[in-house]
Structure 1
């Protein structure tokens, strides 16, 4: 399999990297200090992204996106991973699940999201239902031609800037080989809908400025027209569209790890102790060798999984492997970079402590490392009847 970049892919990588360096890096320290992104700055980033022609680059050209394939979009996410997530979120990539919109919903939600006129957020996780999605308690009950929603979601990323949320709610139960499970339906819910409240969530040490929110639904009335896909088929939609978001996490981890490595490599070559660069000492040089080997391995795992998606091949295990390895790799690389810098690595004068804190959440969201290992091992054992 050839992973050499085409001329177009190389151009895209260089363009996105330049964008991140020019439009994201200069504002990172202030966002880290304040924990807040000024609205005008977010709009500025989104406008410049649209001017580049990269807004909604993960959507087909006929809908107004750039029509990138999975491998090329993974390269975009890799480069965006170098920057603060609180800022790169405005480099618009609407949720792919919106492709499930019907004709009316396309006009109301999908196309405005692709044009950058509206921002979406996914609302799935609950206080008592994280990895156990079908254990959710947020319920939607039928009432004539409407649905009445009650319940709470939390850890909902960037809901503070969202114009609508893609809500997953329980709408009944069904018998499965593993006992009774909740039936899940997906809804499109506008900000400002009566009975729907978005409030600020928890203060996180990872990705400061990138808000997580709590969503409360109190007798929130939704119409049948707001059902995304089919009633009771929300879990199927999730499986079809959402597992590839784990590939995005893997790619962004690779990008951030490369930024960290570049800093560590330069420091090892420039910093002198006992009259020579510390990088010539085996204790440091071997760290660098291990770091770049792991980064390259994670990069190849991620691109390989993306390539399988482009070929229409089963990719769930491969994506889980990429997400598992890349997120754990990033933790090791950021830790080793700090070790190379010594005490200065922990100071706010450098971004390494931020990268170290940011790395921690990657092993948790979009499926914990334990869930990824479960997916991988299940895929291996099921064909053998185990």
Structure 2
């Protein structure tokens, strides 16, 4: 494997980093203190992201995206991840890659407007009784003539309050809730203004202020046959494709925040003096910095290796799980140690460390908890032996 970045990859890092520092960092304090991203600010960031060629960078060139390989996408996400999540994730949008499974008509109606910045999507999978166990989903889509009637409720749905349409995972059979078989699932594209769709305010979250979650109810929502994404009953497979990509995205953004926390800690340890010398010379601080750098490097190499394997078509579920697990847990460690090094100032909102520390907590929960990632990894080791 060649560890040297290409000229194009170095350019991606430089352009992304400059955009983050110039267009996102200045607004972080406002978002933290108000809990919202102003609509006019959001529109401005999106306009500038489009002009900089950073919008929908995860999409292939054939649909108007940047056509980045996966390693380049990880480098891109890492730079964006250094900034407030609400600013980079809602401002520099990356449409769900599950939309690439759509028909030509669905691409024209949903995917291409997202790439152009004319529409936004949200993914609705999680329910009050179905988190890690996707099989427990109770939202149903029932055949009605040549269309479907959808009934159910979803929660923790990110930025559903501003989305133009919902990418919905629903049961399409079997109807017997006591059936032990994996229920058939399908994915539907549902316009937010369809009668029966209701979006309610979600829960207040200590992580990622300004990044909203909502409750979305489907009360006898009728959709036509053209709402079905992919083939009926293939929802699990399509969702799996999406989850693998987002786990790498989560890993990459965790790396970015951890790197920012480490950089601040190194700078502080080199300039803050106690007992007549910089605190970095004390073993208690210096060893913390060494451990932070070591774990961050290991997580970065693991994530980049998984991205490289994805490009080669050899990445497994265990690879994605390892990257997400390692990066999210390293972020938690680095954020905590960064605050310890800064002492009382680390917890003050004049620095981004307390935000990074709070935001780190959700990364070990969403897109598959750390326990689920460990389960995936352990099963990959045991299954070949029949255990």
TM-score range (shorter-chain normalised) is over 0.9
Structure 2 CA distance, aligned partners of 1:303 and 1:143? 46
**1:103 paired to 2:104:** yes
- The aligned residue for residue 58 of structure 2 is 58
- The aligned residue for residue 217 of structure 1 is 218
- The aligned residue for residue 357 of structure 1 is 358
Query: Does the CA-based 8 Å contact 1:135-1:181 persist in structure 2?
Result: no
Deviations 1:228-252 (A, max 9, x none): 0011111111112322210000000
Deviations 1:141-197 (A, max 9, x none): 11111211111100111112211110001111299xx93222111000111110001
- The aligned residue for residue 36 of structure 1 is 36
- The aligned residue for residue 161 of structure 1 is 162
Structure 1 CA distance, aligned partners of 2:275 and 2:175? 70
Structure 2 CA distance, aligned partners of 1:61 and 1:71? 16
Structure 2 CA distance, aligned partners of 1:207 and 1:231? 35
Structure 1 CA distance, aligned partners of 2:74 and 2:315? 17
Structure 1 CA distance, aligned partners of 2:62 and 2:351? 44
Structure 2 CA distance, aligned partners of 1:195 and 1:3? 52
Question: Which aligned pairs between 1:275-286 and structure 2 lie closer than 5 A?
Answer: 275-286=276-287
Q: CA deviation at 1:271?
A: 0.5
- The aligned residue for residue 383 of structure 1 is 384
Structure 1 CA distance, aligned partners of 2:373 and 2:175? 26
- The aligned residue for residue 21 of structure 2 is 21
Q: CA deviation at 1:281?
A: 0.3
Query: Does the CA-based 8 Å contact 1:137-1:170 persist in structure 2?
Result: yes
RMSD: 1.2
Structure 2 CA distance, aligned partners of 1:298 and 1:3? 15
Query: Does the CA-based 8 Å contact 1:337-1:352 persist in structure 2?
Result: yes
**SS at the partner of 2:194?**
coil
**SS at the partner of 1:159?**
coil
Question: Which aligned pairs between 1:225-374 and structure 2 lie closer than 5 A?
Answer: 225-374=226-375
Q: CA deviation at 1:2?
A: 2.0
Structure 2 CA distance, aligned partners of 1:263 and 1:115? 36
**What TM-score, normalized by structure 2, do the two folds share?**
0.97
Structure 1 CA distance, aligned partners of 2:167 and 2:140? 14
Structure 1 CA distance, aligned partners of 2:116 and 2:97? 14
Query: Does the CA-based 8 Å contact 1:174-1:180 persist in structure 2?
Result: no
Deviations 1:7-28 (A, max 9, x none): 1101100110110011100000
Structure 2 CA distance, aligned partners of 1:85 and 1:162? 17
**1:78 paired to 2:56:** no
Structure 1 CA distance, aligned partners of 2:294 and 2:254? 15
Query: Does the CA-based 8 Å contact 1:268-1:340 persist in structure 2?
Result: yes
Deviations 1:266-320 (A, max 9, x none): 1101100011000000000000000011111111010000000100113321110
Query: Does the CA-based 8 Å contact 1:80-1:255 persist in structure 2?
Result: yes
**What TM-score, normalized by structure 1, do the two folds share?**
0.98
Structure 1 CA distance, aligned partners of 2:313 and 2:293? 30
Q: CA deviation at 1:384?
A: 1.1
Uncovered stretches (5+) of structure 2, i.e. residues with no partner: none
Aligned length: 384
| CA 1:382–1:227: 2 relative to 1, 3 Å | same
Structure 2 CA distance, aligned partners of 1:206 and 1:47? 26
